[in-house]
Structure 1
Amino acid sequence: MGEGGMRKSLVRDINLLEYLDVIKKRLWIIVLIVLATTSAGYYYSQSNNVPLYQSSTRVIISSDSEYMKTLMVMIKDPIIMAQVIEELELQTSPQGLSGKISVSRIDESQVIQILVTDTDPHQAANIANATAQNFKSSARSILAFKEVQLLSEATLNTAPVNESQNRSVVMAAAIGLLAGVGLAFFLESLDGTIRREKEVEELLGIPVIGSVPNLNKKKLLLQKKQVTFTKTGGEIVDIKQKAAGSDR
């Protein structure tokens, strides 16, 4: 590796150490913000995440593809939805009930799945079974189609399908971490305390001969063109002021 490459590598190492120092110095701020956002995310997910449950039934329709499409559309027809609402005494409209139901064909076969999503797992199973039964009856009475067979009944499923609480909490923690680190570096940029000799050299453009505690960047910049520091006998001496005193 050439001299230029070594110098760049050294600069990167120094910058990385400086970043780590800032994070260590203000770690408590980062931790507090992460805890706050994580707690808020958990509370939000608990109060706003309504669990949803799904249950499905399957029917076999012995028909050609085109007629099967018509029969699949019929499953969610308002007439059948109204029959299900009346049978189960549901407090909803045919359109509202239809929105809870999805109908799909299994792998281009004659098997049709009726999937119901509801906030009540028992209700989801009851709606699925009632929909299949009323569809079979309506297909026979309205279309004189008798080739609908119930393949499997819907069963109770008590496992929610929208368990996203962990994801919400993780996202809240990540946002808190980014905000905490950002705030830490922002506060560091407002801090005018000089902690390293290299900072003095960069601000004044001259090498450091001695050091004094608790210098401030703003004060040092104001004196940049007016004051030259040197160290004599363990003390910091203002050369210009000393020269002015000698002239007197």
Structure 2
Amino acid sequence: MELIKLTWYVIRRRWPVILIVLVVALTGGALYNATQKSEYTASTSLFLRAPDVKTSTSAYQGDLFSRQRAQTYMNIITSDELAQSVIDKLGLSMSPSELESRVSASTVKETVIIVLSAKDSDPQEAANIANGYASVFASYVAKVENVQNDPSVPPLVTVINAASADTAVRGGYSLTMTLLVALIVALVVSALIIWFLEYFDTKPRTRRDIEEAAGAPVIATFGSDIDDPGVPSGSLTPALAEEAQRAGVAVRQRLQQVARSDDAGYEDDVDDTDGAAFALVGDRAGVGAVQAGYAMAEGIAASGASVSLLTLGAYVADVPADSGSSVTLLSLPTAFSDEATIRESLEQLRSKTDYVVVASSSAVTSVESEVALSLSDAFVLCVAPGQSTSVGIREAVRVSDGIHKPMLGVVVTHAVQTPTVSGVYV
């Protein structure tokens, strides 16, 4: 059952691959069937008469003679002389070798019947060639067997079933068969492509995958209701506010733990964490760090603390005065900000508020994100399932370890994002 659920989950994620391969395969099969050259096969049946017999023994020997002769006669059918006789009779504009390539013969098992078949793009022409061979074959065999001078000897070969255009069989595959084969091939190719994509997919999609890649717990998961990139509404939905508050509590607790173990002289008292800042960054551009940062700032502010949100590389609109939000917003576009400006703004915010949330809309390896990390006390990694990669997450952890900044946890966001040409989110 779990395998079925997993297979269905993969199919739901990769259905465009299946659809594209199916369309390509079925279209290709239909085009192949429409463009392939039609070829019809018409057949006529020849009966080999045994020599005149008077006893049962001679009858058996005559039948055996005819069966053995049937194998010889099939080889005679490919004779150039016989082919030329047919060409002359039908007035065909082709060489004997070309005609021979269209003709074949076989015997009916345990009988003295030869089936002579001819192929052509025109079913009537195929029937004419088959009948033309049948009409000259008897006289040709008589000539070879040297019996034509004795009028009392009946011909050894008799036509028992003439070829007809109505019974000519069209060669190749029918449209139904072609499409069926295309469908099977499409499903197999789709399965191989999906397996390849899944095998080499480095994007974590489950909580366990994210926590294993980051080496830190997930402290919050924000749904798609954070769908206004970089523009806070001034109020959160009840479900979002509840999740943000849990995230705020987790961040405060982790910040206090960092403060107690820090060499900067923090004490155990909660108030001594005033002025602490943490950076919220993504492992790649556009993972909703700004939206998550605002939600977490609101969650911390809900506990009674004063919080400032400093955004880098993304515009954040002012929160309406009557919104009830206690979060102070400050946006610094990185195009006009250097490290000194960011440092000065951050210090001003830290002197006025209990906590400062620094949100960056670009990748963690960008200059602004590294500056935000270097000026913060700790950081929270923002991850988007299906968009962030395990490599990117590990790189973010490596960068933070390089500048000795502890990770408070991971925030998962399903925010709907709108990228610009410059890579930032507005």
TM-score (norm. length: structure 1): 0.72
Q: Kindly indicate whether the alpha-carbon contact (under 8 Å) linking 1:33 and 1:176 is maintained by their aligned counterparts in 2.
A: yes
**Deviation at residue 162 of structure 1 after TM alignment:** 2.5
Q: Kindly indicate whether the alpha-carbon contact (under 8 Å) linking 1:80 and 1:134 is maintained by their aligned counterparts in 2.
A: yes
Equivalent of 1:125 in 116, 124, 127: 127
CA distance in structure 2 between the partners assigned to 1:230 and 1:51 by the alignment? 70
Equivalent of 1:35 in 23, 27, 45: 23
1:24 aligns with 2:12: yes
**Deviation at residue 204 of structure 1 after TM alignment:** 3.8
- Listed one character per residue, the Cα deviations across residues 140-166 of structure 1 (whole Å, up to 9, x for unaligned) are 234323322222222222441323433
Which residue of structure 2 aligns with residue 245 of structure 1?
A: none
Provide the secondary structure at the position in 2 that maps to 1:140.
Answer: helix
CA distance in structure 2 between the partners assigned to 1:142 and 1:81 by the alignment? 15
- Listed one character per residue, the Cα deviations across residues 50-100 of structure 1 (whole Å, up to 9, x for unaligned) are 232322232323251444443343233211111111111112221221222
In our comparison, the structure showing a higher alpha carbon Rg is: 2
Q: Kindly indicate whether the alpha-carbon contact (under 8 Å) linking 1:53 and 1:124 is maintained by their aligned counterparts in 2.
A: yes
Q: Kindly indicate whether the alpha-carbon contact (under 8 Å) linking 1:116 and 1:125 is maintained by their aligned counterparts in 2.
A: yes
Alignment of 1:24-103 (within 5 A): 24-62=12-50, 64=65, 65-103=67-105
**Deviation at residue 27 of structure 1 after TM alignment:** 1.4
CA distance in structure 2 between the partners assigned to 1:190 and 1:172 by the alignment? 27
**Deviation at residue 122 of structure 1 after TM alignment:** 1.0
Q: Kindly indicate whether the alpha-carbon contact (under 8 Å) linking 2:40 and 2:168 is maintained by their aligned counterparts in 1.
A: no
Provide the secondary structure at the position in 2 that maps to 1:102.
Answer: strand
Which residue of structure 2 aligns with residue 229 of structure 1?
A: 408
Give, as a single letter, the amino acid of the residue that structure 2 aligns with 1:47: T
- Considering Cα pairs closer than 8 Å and 6+ residues apart, tell me whether 1 or 2 has the greater RCO: 1
CA distance in structure 2 between the partners assigned to 1:147 and 1:72 by the alignment? 14
CA distance in structure 2 between the partners assigned to 1:230 and 1:142 by the alignment? 97
- Listed one character per residue, the Cα deviations across residues 121-146 of structure 1 (whole Å, up to 9, x for unaligned) are 11122112221121111222343233
Provide the secondary structure at the position in 2 that maps to 1:210.
Answer: strand
Which residue of structure 1 aligns with residue 178 of structure 2?
A: 168
Give, as a single letter, the amino acid of the residue that structure 2 aligns with 1:222: E
Give, as a single letter, the amino acid of the residue that structure 1 aligns with 2:46: R
CA distance in structure 1 between the partners assigned to 2:72 and 2:41 by the alignment? 28
Identical aligned pairs, as a percentage?
Answer: 21
**Deviation at residue 16 of structure 1 after TM alignment:** 5.3
Q: Residues 18 and 222 of structure 1: is their aligned pair in 2 closer, same or farther, counting only changes over 3 Å?
A: farther
Q: Residues 61 and 74 of structure 1: is their aligned pair in 2 closer, same or farther, counting only changes over 3 Å?
A: farther
Provide the secondary structure at the position in 2 that maps to 1:26.
Answer: helix
Alignment of 1:140-219 (within 5 A): 140-145=142-147, 146-156=155-165, 157-184=167-194, 194-205=204-215, 208=217, 210-213=219-222, 214=287, 215=383, 216=388, 217-219=390-392
Which residue of structure 2 aligns with residue 238 of structure 1?
A: none
Give, as a single letter, the amino acid of the residue that structure 2 aligns with 1:229: L
Q: Kindly indicate whether the alpha-carbon contact (under 8 Å) linking 1:60 and 1:150 is maintained by their aligned counterparts in 2.
A: no
CA distance in structure 2 between the partners assigned to 1:219 and 1:212 by the alignment? 19
Q: Residues 150 and 182 of structure 1: is their aligned pair in 2 closer, same or farther, counting only changes over 3 Å?
A: closer
Q: Kindly indicate whether the alpha-carbon contact (under 8 Å) linking 1:197 and 1:211 is maintained by their aligned counterparts in 2.
A: no
Greater Cα shift, 180-189 or 136-145: 180-189
Greater Cα shift, 51-60 or 112-121: 51-60
Q: Kindly indicate whether the alpha-carbon contact (under 8 Å) linking 1:125 and 1:155 is maintained by their aligned counterparts in 2.
A: yes
Greater Cα shift, 122-131 or 61-70: 61-70
TM-score (norm. length: structure 2): 0.45
Give, as a single letter, the amino acid of the residue that structure 1 aligns with 2:22: V
Give, as a single letter, the amino acid of the residue that structure 1 aligns with 2:123: P
Q: Residues 158 and 110 of structure 1: is their aligned pair in 2 closer, same or farther, counting only changes over 3 Å?
A: closer
Q: Residues 24 and 102 of structure 1: is their aligned pair in 2 closer, same or farther, counting only changes over 3 Å?
A: same
Q: How many residues align?
A: 219
Give, as a single letter, the amino acid of the residue that structure 2 aligns with 1:44: Y
Which residue of structure 1 aligns with residue 55 of structure 2?
A: none
Higher helix share: 1
CA distance in structure 1 between the partners assigned to 2:201 and 2:100 by the alignment? 62
Give, as a single letter, the amino acid of the residue that structure 1 aligns with 2:162: E
Give, as a single letter, the amino acid of the residue that structure 1 aligns with 2:30: Y
- Listed one character per residue, the Cα deviations across residues 169-201 of structure 1 (whole Å, up to 9, x for unaligned) are 233333333444554565567776544221123
Q: Kindly indicate whether the alpha-carbon contact (under 8 Å) linking 2:42 and 2:163 is maintained by their aligned counterparts in 1.
A: no
CA distance in structure 1 between the partners assigned to 2:156 and 2:7 by the alignment? 72
Q: Which runs of 5+ in 2 are unaligned?
A: 52-64, 148-154, 223-286, 288-382, 412-426
CA distance in structure 2 between the partners assigned to 1:62 and 1:77 by the alignment? 23
Query: Cα RMSD over matched residues?
Result: 3.1
